[in-house]
Amino acid sequence: KEGLEAVAVWRERGGLPHSVESTACLMQIHDTECRAASADGAQTQRSEMELRMAYSLAVIRAVNGLVDPGQKGLYADSVMSIAAARGIPSWIVELRHDGTHNQLPAYSTLRTACDYLVEWFYDNYWEVQSQHVQAYFNITPSSSSSDGTEKSSSSSTGMERAVLETLAEACPTSI
């Protein structure tokens, strides 16, 4: 939840990367669904149609945001070919197409797609960013503190690391 709140602040400031936005959207839908399922009152529960619309929009925006930068030049490549080059399976691109132009896909299929996309963003964005941060702050396994947690060679990075760790915790690899 803290990670989603940090992303909301970042969103207000502007300059939010697509991968952060998409991960946050996917996680927020899941978080809201989980809280509604555990709530006592029926008023907080979302209908299946509402969840299908939310998940469908999240899939559409995630895929479009990943393929749009590849739409360069006089003749645009297909969404399917650009997505394939980025490692997005065709069934997710088809869900995007169906959610945009046809009937909304089934809830279970959309939920599976969102789980897959969270994993994809984790592997292809969050892990890469984590490696960049570790390299930037020169974090190595030998720079661990006595309690086993990593610490940076710079004392001014505590705030930045705390925010990054909070964002990373908001994006688990299995939902």
User: Letter for the amino acid at 54?
Assistant: A
49 phi and psi, to 5 degrees? Answer: -65, -40
- Residue % of the chain over a pLDDT of 90: 32
For the record, the structure tokens of 38 come out as 């555990």
CA angle at 13 for the pair 8 and 16, rounded to the nearest 5°:
70
Distance between CA 68 and CA 77 in Å, rounded?
10
Residue 163's pLDDT is 56
Instruction: Answer yes or no: is pLDDT of 61 > 70.
Output: yes
User: Which has the higher per-residue pLDDT, 171 or 48?
Assistant: 48
Instruction: Answer yes or no: is pLDDT of 8 > 90.
Output: no
70-126 pLDDT tens trace: 888 777 788 899 999 999 999 999 999 999 899 999 999 999 999 999 999 999 888
